[in-house]
Amino acid sequence: MTISMYEASIPVFIHSLTSLKAILEKGAAHAEAKKIDPAVLVQGRLFPDMFPLSRQVQIATDAAKGAAARLSGTEPPKFEDNETTFPELIARVQRTIDYLKGFKASQIDGSEAKDIVLKSPRGDRQFTGLVFLRHWAMANFFFHTTTTYNILRSAGVEVGKQDFLGAP
């Protein structure tokens, strides 16, 4: 049995973003219940040289929408990266889910050998579609969703592995 590029990407991103949204909602509820300024959590970091939670969410959503766009040969929507509150971050995650739900398998399938070039000030990276998805897009996406989870967990938010994994 083979799996399509669509099935390996879009449903995975949507599932994990849905879990990320629920984790952010728990973070907001935790701040309210414990009388913690929510900005403390939104700007929380695991270590001083790492991005804060807000940027982790922005990068995770950019990774998902960017992967879908690159594999389909379309332009991703531009988000301003100006979210500073839980409601704004939750809305960004939902906008990304809504964007991803607009893709059809026919737009992504067959992109395994597609040339993908990521432009960066540090130098361009070249991939085939399959290598891009497996070794860059998914890894980048899960790094930032996991880091978001870890920031909230380290701040005392009661989230666990099942929250990260989400409902089957």
The pTM score is 0.96
Nearest by Cα to 94 from 104, 73, 79, 75:
79
The pLDDT tens digits for 57-89 are 999 999 999 999 999 999 999 999 999 999 999
Query: What fold characterizes domain 5-165?
Result: Four Helix Bundle (Hemerythrin (Met), subunit A) (1.20.120)
Strand partners, 14: none
The pLDDT tens digits for 112-163 are 999 999 888 999 999 999 999 999 999 999 999 999 999 999 999 999 999 9
Torsion of CA 62, 73, 164, 101, to 10 degrees: 110
Tell the residue number behind the tokens 């998902």, with chain if given.
Answer: 64
Tell the residue number behind the tokens 């059809």, with chain if given.
Answer: 104
Q: Domain coordinates of the chain in residue numbers? A: 5-165
